[in-house]
Amino acid sequence: MKLAISGKGGVGKTTLAALFAQIYTQAGRNVLAVDADPSPCLAGALGFPSELRSKLHPIAEMEDLIYERTGAKPGTIGGFFTLNPRVDDIPERFSVTHRGVRLLEMGAVDMGGSGCICPESALLKTLFTHLLFRKDDVLILDMYAGVEHLGRATVDFVDAMIIVVEPTRRSLGTAAQIKSLAEDIGLRRLWLVGNKVQNEEEASFLRSEATSLPLLGILPGDAGVQEADRLGMAVYDYVPALRQAAEKMVAVLDAQIAPQMG
């Protein structure tokens, strides 16, 4: 299963991506978590120790690898390069694993939002599209905030997209834009997740306003999330309320997606 997590800046995409990655890992699934934000944060949210983090190098910065595999230098537009480079060894060679979660950083790559394809985006797209995932494997893509990058070529390989929202009209507005772009690229399985919800009033605001997409669940606002960040700990370990809420979402996702994927 390949899941993308999107939403407006700062709504909690990375927090949710880390929770899902650890929950699926705990359930015995093989998880590849991909940080697609040019300023990566997922390693921290997963509680990766700094010595492991220092071993992570974003794929987009690996000029030699990109050249070797595509025949073109990163950033090249036009000219000839391989559109289906060899990628099978990349997760193994370029990721680090902590407590069972394998993590890969993409770095700053234009994934073709504007329609152009450069060698590094060709490499990554091939990686995510053709990597042979076993049925039970899980890819979690923590996306760059906003909508600009969500072009045709971007995430058409995912099975489902989660759009994180805060209980505000603004973040629901961004969610609506993401929804329409996602539908343009043929993505049909979309869910909203409400985050930083402080009280029943905010929860019912989300339930009543977020009608154009199914609400997968709600994560409470909790000061522990920022404490966990300061302590370098995973929210999964530090804030049981969030972990439990996310576990319920994963159960719903599994019940709804897995049967359809056969």
- 241 near ligand ATP, rule: CB under 6 A: no
User: Which among ligand ATP, Mg ion, none contacts residue 195 (Cβ within 5 to 8 A by kind)?
Assistant: ligand ATP
- 131 near ligand ATP, rule: CB under 6 A: no
- 162 near ligand ATP, rule: CB under 6 A: no
Q: Please check whether residue 124 is in contact with residue 32, taking contact to mean a CB–CB distance below 8 angstroms.
A: no
- 56 near ligand ATP, rule: CB under 6 A: no
Helix axes 63-70, 119-130, angle to 10 degrees: 80
Report residue 260 as tokens. Answer: 């359809």
Query: Cβ 145 to Mg ion, closest distance in Å?
Result: 7
Query: Cβ 197 to ligand ATP, closest distance in Å?
Result: 8
Strands, sheet with 101-105, edge to edge from the N-terminal-most edge strand: 96-98, 101-105, 31-35, 138-142, 2-7, 160-165, 190-197, 215-220
Query: Cβ 43 to ligand ATP, closest distance in Å?
Result: 12
**Cβ-Cβ contacts under 8 Å for 205 (sequence gap 6 or more):** 167
**Residue 182, H or E segment:** helix 169-184
**Cβ-Cβ contacts under 8 Å for 96 (sequence gap 6 or more):** 48, 52, 53, 55, 56, 102, 103
Q: How far apart are CA 185 and CA 201, in angstroms?
A: 34
Query: Cβ 18 to ligand ATP, closest distance in Å?
Result: 8
User: Which among ligand ATP, Mg ion, none contacts residue 229 (Cβ within 5 to 8 A by kind)?
Assistant: ligand ATP
Judge residue 103's burial from the number of C-beta atoms within 10 Å of its C-beta, 0-12 exposed, 13-18 middle, 19 or more buried. buried
- 13 near Mg ion, rule: CB under 5 A: yes
Q: How far apart are CA 125 and CA 106, in angstroms?
A: 11
User: Which among ligand ATP, Mg ion, none contacts residue 49 (Cβ within 5 to 8 A by kind)?
Assistant: none
- 196 near Mg ion, rule: CB under 5 A: no
Residue among 84, 114, 226, 244 that touches ligand ATP (CB under 6 A): 226
Nearest CB to Mg ion, comparing residues 66 and 235: 235
User: Which among Mg ion, ligand ATP, none contacts residue 185 (Cβ within 5 to 8 A by kind)?
Assistant: none
The residue range among 76-84, 128-136, 148-156, 219-227 that interacts with ligand ATP, by the rule CB under 6 A, is: 219-227
Residues that bind Mg ion (CB under 5 A): 13-14
Residues that bind ligand ATP (CB under 6 A): 7, 9-15, 37, 41, 145, 195-196, 219, 221-222, 225-226, 229, 242
